[in-house]
Structure 1
Amino acid sequence: MVAIIELIQALILGFTVGISAALIPGPMMIATIGISMRKGWRTGPLVFIGHAMVETVIFLLILAGAVSFLGNSAMSYISVLGGIIMALFGIMLIKSAKKISVMDISASSAKKELPSSPVSAGILTSALNPTFVAWWLTAGSAIILQEYFLGVFAVLAFILGHWIADLGFLVAVSSSSSRGKELFSQSTHEKVMYVCGAFMLLFGLWFLFNYDNVSAFV
């Protein structure tokens, strides 16, 4: 039985990973901003539904396709690869924090042709985003499998934390966009990205130097 503290840790990890990824402007954020200007704050929850549908399929594929044949060696390789990806992702967040914080995302969304359905936008901007898919096939799968070997409830806690971050962020984006306001000030956005980047870098390094502990769950 997974200890309560481990469930809380998985929940916090899921939330932090979700926020770290959400802060980087991408197709889903741009689509949410653009559609929100026409359809209001309800765009956020609907985009999230489409996004969560794609992630659910990915989660199931990771678990169903990997757990049945993973051994210590395979899990170690996944942990090392995942650690490298997370560390690089953290460095990228830190290096690009200032640049991203001053981007005019609203202007970018106005130039793109966006799906009329928010749910479709959530599905398409997730499934067709190579960065999103590559993340879950490497670092994301390492985290999911680590939580799986702690127990199913740890996986669910991680996913719940991740989805709370996604939903909360998308609702905040759609609400602020529909009112013509910025979600964060530039300085706040920059500081949050520095914090998230540092977290991802440290967690990636933990995976790299503790892969033997991770594989011990197998």
Structure 2
Amino acid sequence: MELAIFLATVVFISLSGVMAPGPLFAATLAEGRKNPLAGFVISAGHAIVEVPIILLLFLFGLSAPPSLKTYVGIAGGVVMLYLAYLELKSGGNDVKPGKALFTGIAMSALNPYFIMWWLTIGLALILKATTFGIVGLALFIVAHELCDFLWLGIISISSNKAAAIWGAKAQKVLTAFSVSILLFFGIYFIYAGLVEFIHTAP
């Protein structure tokens, strides 16, 4: 596969994942109301978790035990519910240094579907990257992370603009929307984790 075609494939597949509404999207929407650059900070937190995974898969490969999805899913669901609680408690006005970075890290490390994506689709892309050696790996990381930074950056800037234009009304709507997404995924992750635990329990 030509390098240019490979990178185009990486961009399209990466965008299909990052543009889907999920925990990172909800967190970026919430943080963006207060800080238009929050999407970039959240992306940095996301990258802190993601890049080492890419390197591990590239160098050694990685096989997760069946129990990993269960425990990560439950932990991730609890964190998402906690973030939803904080969002409701603050009314969307909670601004703390480092919160966006922590959110990016937590919403990635504790998202079982993020991990499973890398163990399946992501691993397939990385195996193709090995064809191009270190250059292929470096370009793969840059292309994938740029998708995250650009999309989440757009989301936080748009959220901030909407809040500035429509004021308190927009803030209430955006808070309700982001909390709803966090609640949905939090409950779903816990439910899926418990179901998996029941099915795998001796």
For Structure 1 versus Structure 2, the TM-score category normalised by the shorter chain is 0.5 to 0.7
Q: Secondary structure at the match of 1:66?
A: coil
Q: CA deviation at 1:50?
A: 0.5
CA contact (8 A) 1:50 1:119 kept: yes
The structure where helix makes up a greater share of residues is 2
Measure, in 2, the Cα distance between the counterparts of 1:26 and 1:112. 17
Amino acid at match of 2:2: E
Amino acid at match of 1:113: L
State which of 23, 27, 32 in structure 2 corresponds to 1:31.
27
Q: Secondary structure at the match of 1:41?
A: coil
Structure 1 pair 125–111 and aligned structure 2 pair: CA distance change class (3 A): closer
State which of 123, 143, 152 in structure 2 corresponds to 1:141.
123
User: So what's the TM-score if we normalise by structure 2?
Assistant: 0.61
Measure, in 1, the Cα distance between the counterparts of 2:29 and 2:129. 33
Give me the CA root mean square deviation: 2.6
* Structure 1 residue ranges (4+ consecutive) displaced by more than 2 angstroms after TM superposition: 110-116
Residues 110-149 of structure 1: pairs in structure 2 closer than 5 A: 111-113=84-86, 116=96, 117-149=99-131
Amino acid at match of 2:46: H
1:210 corresponding residue in structure 2: none
2:147 corresponding residue in structure 1: 165
Q: Secondary structure at the match of 2:86?
A: coil
CA contact (8 A) 1:33 1:173 kept: yes
Q: Secondary structure at the match of 1:179?
A: helix
Summarize deviations over 1:65-84 as a string: whole Å, max 9, x none: 239xxxxxxxxxxxxxxxxx
CA contact (8 A) 1:15 1:163 kept: no
Q: Which runs of 5+ in 2 are unaligned?
A: 63-82, 88-93, 164-169, 171-202
Q: Percent identity?
A: 32
Q: CA deviation at 1:137?
A: 0.9
Structure 1 pair 32–112 and aligned structure 2 pair: CA distance change class (3 A): farther
Residues 37-56 of structure 1: pairs in structure 2 closer than 5 A: 37-38=33-34, 40-56=35-51
Q: Which runs of 5+ in 1 are unaligned?
A: 68-109, 183-218
Q: CA deviation at 1:112?
A: 4.8
State which of 11, 24, 47 in structure 2 corresponds to 1:15.
11
Amino acid at match of 2:123: S
2:58 corresponding residue in structure 1: 63
2:157 corresponding residue in structure 1: 175
User: So what's the TM-score if we normalise by structure 1?
Assistant: 0.56
